Amino acid sequence: MLKKFLLFLFSFLIPLFLWADCKEYEPWYTGPFEADSATNIPKGDVGIYPYYYYQVSHAQYTPSGTRSSLPTITMQTGELALQVGITKWLDITFDSRVVFSKQLTAKTTEISDTYVKLGFQLAKDKKGAIMPAVRFIIRETFPTGKYKNLNPDKRGLDSSGSGSYETDFGLRFSKTVFWWKCHPIKFVFTLDYNVLTDVSVQGFNTYGGGFGTDGSIKPGRTFYTIFSFDFSLTQKFAFSMDTVFGRTAGSSFNGQTGFDVSGASITNQPAIPFGQLVPITVIATRPENTLSISVLFLSPALEYNFSPNLGVIVTYLISMYGTNTLEFRTVAANLSYSF
């Protein structure tokens, strides 16, 4: 599927590349899709960013990284982000999501966790200079999603949050180069480290659990990084690629573990999943406390920019490797508008 997608993209992109007007221009970018921008929105401006994801999973990655088949899971996610420029060096972003999930006869609709992010502009990208744009972010996650007392008949699909107040510290770097005057390229590199508070859980929960589970989870901390490029074909058309790697340390549980659906005692709890893109879906399992989760995925995308302030981007996310998480294929789109 990825090969067909890339073949379609390049069969479309190559003619644009050859026919592009080679007069130098200021590139317009909506992407990359996954990498956060290293540039704040200008003071007084407002950005509105609706997203749509359609994800399909046919397997999960084992602790050794091999694939293990499972009944098909489909997830549709609607997301809306609102960004406001406060000063020349500070902006704020609000983000919320709704997730529709299905596996076999189980169906759920849940609100996910809510995010508030502050962006601090440390340096700006200037044409001809070596210094890239540099942005420091602090993102706080509020546990508005469902994470405990899950319905065992829903197969874990009604899990839509971590139950934790999460604080994410991140750095974003980007540099636009004009090696070809008619085809500028923007490179983006991001680093993030996520710290989570302890979570009180009862019953079936995001981290596993079962009947009679009652205790607290100490979630593992998360590190993830993204390297991306955004290649301008024309001022309006661009092709981008994100390479994303994330790793979450194993969680630990303290309390009464409870019983699984077969009546057996649950001796351990699963590790926390990496993000809400690949939530845990098999509950009442018995992996070790120390299991960590990792994921590597790609996100090739095609974007069209109507103006510097309005653009649309479509991508195909595909997991390449992972441990203790879902394999996935996702089609996603984003509309970016600022005023």
Digit-coded pLDDT (tens) for 249-285: 888 888 887 876 666 666 554 433 333 333 333 333 3
pLDDT given for residue 270 in this prediction: 45
Higher pLDDT among residues 228 and 161, named by residue = 228
pLDDT given for residue 272 in this prediction: 34
Digit-coded pLDDT (tens) for 81-95: 999 999 999 999 999
Q: What is the distance between the alpha carbons of residues 283 and 303, in angstroms, rounded to a whole number? A: 38
Q: What tokens appear for 206 in the block? A: 């995001």
In the chain, the percentage of residues whose pLDDT exceeds 90 is: 62
Question: What kind and span of H or E run contains 299?
Answer: strand 293-307
Q: What tokens appear for 45 in the block? A: 């401006």
pLDDT given for residue 292 in this prediction: 84
pLDDT given for residue 285 in this prediction: 34
Band of residue 232 on the pLDDT scale cut at 50, 70, 90: very high
pLDDT given for residue 185 in this prediction: 96
Q: What tokens appear for 284 in the block? A: 């009442």
Digit-coded pLDDT (tens) for 10-50: 565 555 555 555 778 889 999 899 999 999 999 999 999 99
Please, how many CA atoms are within 13 Å of residue 25, restricted to the half-sphere of its CB?
Answer: 17
pLDDT given for residue 284 in this prediction: 31
Average pLDDT, the chain: 86
Digit-coded pLDDT (tens) for 134-180: 999 999 999 999 999 988 888 888 989 989 999 999 999 999 999 98
In the chain, the percentage of residues whose pLDDT exceeds 70 is: 85
pLDDT given for residue 18 in this prediction: 52
The angle at the Cα of 260, spanning 258 to 265, to the nearest 5 degrees, equals 55
Higher pLDDT among residues 292 and 49, named by residue = 49
pLDDT given for residue 3 in this prediction: 60
Asked whether residue 241 carries a pLDDT value surpassing 50, the answer given is: yes
Asked whether residue 233 carries a pLDDT value surpassing 80, the answer given is: yes
Q: What is the distance between the alpha carbons of residues 163 and 142, in angstroms, rounded to a whole number? A: 8
Residue ranges of domains in the chain, CATH in brackets:
2-338 (2.40.160.40)
The radius of gyration computed from the CA coordinates of the chain, to the nearest angstrom, equals: 21
